[in-house]
Structure formats: structure tokens, C-alpha cells
Amino acid sequence: MRVRVSISTVLGLTAALALAACSPGDTEVRPADSSSARTNSPANNGRDSGGVLSSPELASRLLGESDLGDGYTRKPDRPSGGDDDVTVLGCPALKELGADAATGSGGGLDFPHRAKAAFTYTGNGEVSEELYSGSGSKLSDGTGRIFDAMTGCPAYQVLAGSTPIDITTQEIPAPGLGDERWSHLLTFSSEGADMVVKQTAIRDGSVLLIVSGSPALVDRHLDTALAKATATG
């Protein structure tokens, strides 16, 4: 049977690869993502450790259909642990992160406060948003580890169940937002079909935003997502 790469599969894989390394902690309003061009700003303004938000607070700051506009439909939340079994081949750094998380050895990330939403768009494509909260230094260190691992593996393969998918990464400039930011393009190839996904991550104080999906949709909604995620008062 011919297996084609769908945007839904791709977004699920990026979540599993990038933040499968998240250690399960406090209540999670939905799992989650991943990596590359990192830019630091000299100051850690905003919330660093004093303004950590709970998972329900993060969930209230996610974009909704009314924020996105016409043509967007929110996808049903998938049950925790519902991701495909993913095996990383050809990238020891990513494989090590996944193994640490799976065995609970403490080497994975620990972003206990989190929330996620994903949307389909009738104009073609999907976009997902993940929000995390913790101390600024912890978010920075943990996210940087994943992004550095993926940057260090410009081409590798994953097995989603028994389906091989080739992945290449391209580091791209991130917009000048927040205290730190990362961005890259992922190209997923399987059975002659390709899918390009853009991922941009912005850390603003104690909040980490990751927007993934069709490149045009990520660009269209990133500013709005960050403004809502970091709104005060």
C-alpha cells in the first residue's frame, strides 16, 4: 500500500520528535514539538521565574477559531499517549533525547505547564500552537538542546510504526520577537511525496510559544499568537 505524507502525520511526528522528550509533570492540556535558528537577546525581560503560568492559564491563551478567521476548524484533542511509535535513525543526538524521556532517566526536558491546539484550514494546510511555561532559563536550556540536536542532523530518517520517512532540516532566520527565538523548515519525504513544515519558537520570559505547520499559515498567525500568549492584565 502506498503511504503518503499528510500534514497531520507530519505535525504529529514533529511533536513526537521534538517534545517527546518532555517529562510528564503537572496536568497537561495537551502534549507537544521542535527546532533550529537560535537568536538570543541580551536581556531576559518579562516573566523569568516569577510569572509561571499553569496549564489552564496557558490553555486560555491559545489561539481560537475567532482569532484565526474564516476557514479554520479546531481539530479534536488526541488522547495522551496516542502518538505513533516513532524510531529515530541517523541522528544519535535526537535518539538519545528520546531514549532518556522513554526510560525516565531524567535526561529529557521538563516543561510541566503546557497546552496545545491544532487547526485545519480550508484554504489548504494546518497549523498547530504549543504553549509552555516555566523559568526562563529552563525553557531556554531545554529548547536549545532540542534545536541544537536537530540542527546537528540536517538529514535523518524516522520510522512511524513501520513507515520510513526521510527528514531534512533547513535553518532559517527567526523574526525579532521575544527574548529568544528559533526557526527552521522540515521537509518530510515518503514514497515520493514531500511535505514542508515550518516551525518557529519564541521564548518571552517564562512563556515559550511554538507554532508549526504550513509555512504561510505560521507566518500569518505568529504575531497574533505571541501577543495573546504574553498579554498582561
In 3-state terms, what secondary structure has residue 55? helix
* Structural domains of the chain sorted by starting position, each given as residue range(s) with its CATH number in brackets: 7-229 (3.40.1000.70)
Q: What are phi and psi of 190, to 5 degrees?
A: -155, 130
Tell me whether strands 126-133 and 180-190 are parallel, antiparallel or unpaired. unpaired
List pLDDT tens digits, range 59-115: 999 999 999 999 999 998 765 544 456 788 888 877 777 633 322 333 344 688 999
The mean of the pLDDT values for the chain is: 76
pLDDT of the residue at 48 = 45
Tell me whether strands 86-89 and 163-171 are parallel, antiparallel or unpaired. unpaired
C-alpha cell at 164: 520510513
Q: Is the CB of residue 214 less than 8 Å from the CB of residue 198?
A: yes
Tell me whether strands 39-40 and 180-190 are parallel, antiparallel or unpaired. antiparallel
C-alpha cell at 86: 516513532
pLDDT of the residue at 232 = 84
Query: If you average pLDDT over residues 208-214, what whole number do you get?
Result: 93
Q: Is the pTM of this model over 0.75?
A: yes
Q: Residue 145 to residues 60, 138, 156, 173: CA-CA distances in angstroms?
A: 28, 11, 17, 18
Nearest alpha carbon to residue 21 among 108, 147, 88, 150 = 108
Query: If you average pLDDT over residues 19-28, what whole number do you get?
Result: 36
